[in-house]
Amino acid sequence: MNHPRDTRLLPAAGPSFPGDRATVLVVDDAPANLSLLGELLRAEHRVLAANCGEQALRRAAGHPRPDLILLDVMMPGMDGREVLARLQADPHTRDIPVIFVTAMDDQEDEERGLELGAADYITKPLRPRVVQARVRAQLALKRAGDLLRNQKAWLEDEVQRRLGENLLIQEVSIHALAHLAETRDPETGNHLRRTQGYVHILAQALSSHPRFTDYLALHGVAPLARSALLHDIGKVGIPDHILLKPGRLDEMEWRIMRTHARLGSEAIERAERDAERPVEFLALAKEIAHWHHERWDGSGYPDGLAGEAIPISARIMALADVFDALTAQRVYKSPISLEEAREQIRSGRGVHFDPDVVDAMLDCFPAFRETASRYADT
């Protein structure tokens, strides 16, 4: 018989429950069964009670959250099976183990209950030691599961923290190396920041292009932009009288200057050999340093690569580098406007630059303008 009274936390003698006690919710429409289960369990556990399915759902979602639920199957209104289904549908209660308690001593009924997701099955009349043993066993499993979940969450957090640290170390190392090259060529000013920004804009725009999507999905837009900072690292190997010459280079000096592409890629390759395993950003940086002066028509340096033979990273860097060179002040030339640079890049479509990279720049020109303004030389 169902009694409508609101059955609260079952009383316990003595002081309030210690914090390490497990909380067990007992659900039964019969007051005698609630009382019996309360007497059996309260010595070891904190016991909550509910006398109908609706109340059980409220208690299960409330505070304190039960660690285990003993659920009567045959109840008027919402029976135990429906209560279990609703518990499992709620992300806040789906991990609470449920022991079905029923007067039906039928193997098929027990199998059905377990198939529905019940953790265990206790039949009436209740046998105190069996009830206590089953409850202890399920709570032990619950604690073990919670511990594993907590350890998994901690490990995931730790992995993310270590990845963040490694990424920070990588970025600091890249910036340190890039600024080393920058100190040898002080006229470049914010060249590194601008070209990195242009590379990021182009790579992001091209990431959905059929010719580029696989490459950029594999290597990533952000790693490519980070690696772009090392495109001129080879300039540390160029003699000062050439690198810092306040004017145009003669033919012999220009030949020496062009070796910075090879010097940069060789330096990065040596760093790769010292690494215990492949490092993605070094592979990208080596491509960029070596081939960012190649031209689509094959007239570039150092290897005279043409078209698709030029790595995508270098094709993107080539446009970013030339655009910035056109718009930046140098001792041997005055800058041109961003709009003039855009038209020169457009005229190099299919000659100096990959046509699709040029189209991406044209589509994203407002972002280029914003980056140029943000990192303008002062």
Q: Are residues 237 and 301 in the same domain?
A: yes
pLDDT at 110 (0 to 100) = 63
pTM for the model stands at 0.60
CB neighbour list of residue 326: distance below 8 Å, 6 or more residues apart: 335, 336, 340, 341, 344, 345
Distance in angstroms (rounded) separating the CA atoms of residues 93 and 67: 10
pLDDT averaged per 10 residues in sequence order, the chain, 378 residues: 43 42 92 90 92 93 92 90 92 92 69 80 87 92 86 84 74 70 66 93 97 94 91 90 87 95 92 78 91 97 97 98 91 88 97 98 97 89
CATH of residue 307's domain is 1.10.3210.10
Tell me the HSE value of 57 on the side-chain side, using a 13 A CA sphere: 16
Instruction: Give the chain's largest Cα–Cα span.
Output: 104
Kindly give the residue spans of alpha helices, DSSP state H, lying in 207-292.
Answer: 213-219, 221-227, 240-243, 251-258, 260-274, 280-291
Assigned domain for 9 exists = no
Residue 186: per-residue pLDDT = 58
- Do 209 and 267 belong together in one domain? yes
Measured torsion, CA atoms of residues 301, 305, 311, 315, in degrees rounded to the nearest 10: 60
Tell me, what's the pLDDT at 185?
66
Same domain, 138 and 260: no
Asked if the structure places residue 12 within a domain, the reply is no
The pLDDT score that the predictor gives to residue 271 is 82
Q: Collect all residues with Cβ–Cβ distance below 8 Å to 142 and sequence separation of at least 6.
A: 22, 67, 68, 97
pLDDT at 350: 97
The answer to whether residues 221 and 343 belong to one domain is yes
End-of-domain residue from the set 153, 176, 197? 153
Q: Give the H or E element holding residue 314.
A: helix 312-327
Number of domains in the chain: 2
Exposure of 153 in the CB half-sphere (CA atoms within 13 A): 6
Same domain, 209 and 328: yes
DSSP assignment letter at 232 = T
Q: Would residue 237 count as lying in a domain?
A: yes
Last residue of a domain, one of 133, 153, 173: 153
Kindly state whether residues 193 and 63 are assigned to the same domain: no
Residue 16 lies in a domain: no
Cα(40)–Cα(45) distance, integer angstroms = 9
In a domain, 90, yes or no: yes
Within-domain flag for 260: yes
CATH, residue 62: 3.40.50.2300
One domain for residues 86 and 215: no
Q: Which pLDDT score is estimated for 333? A: 79
Same domain, 34 and 134: yes
214 and 345 fall within a common domain? yes
Task: Supply angle C-alpha 114, 120, 123, rounded to 5.
Answer: 100
Structure tokens of 113? 């209950």
Length of the chain: 378
Same domain, 200 and 247: yes
Cα dihedral across residues 24, 27, 31, 33: positive or negative: negative
* Domain endpoint, select from 102, 137, 153: 153
Nearest one of 151, 93, 92, 148 to 117, comparing CA atoms: 93
For 84, the domain range is 23-153
* Rounded-to-integer distance, Cα 110 and Cα 116, Å: 10
User: Is 303 found in the same domain as 221?
Assistant: yes
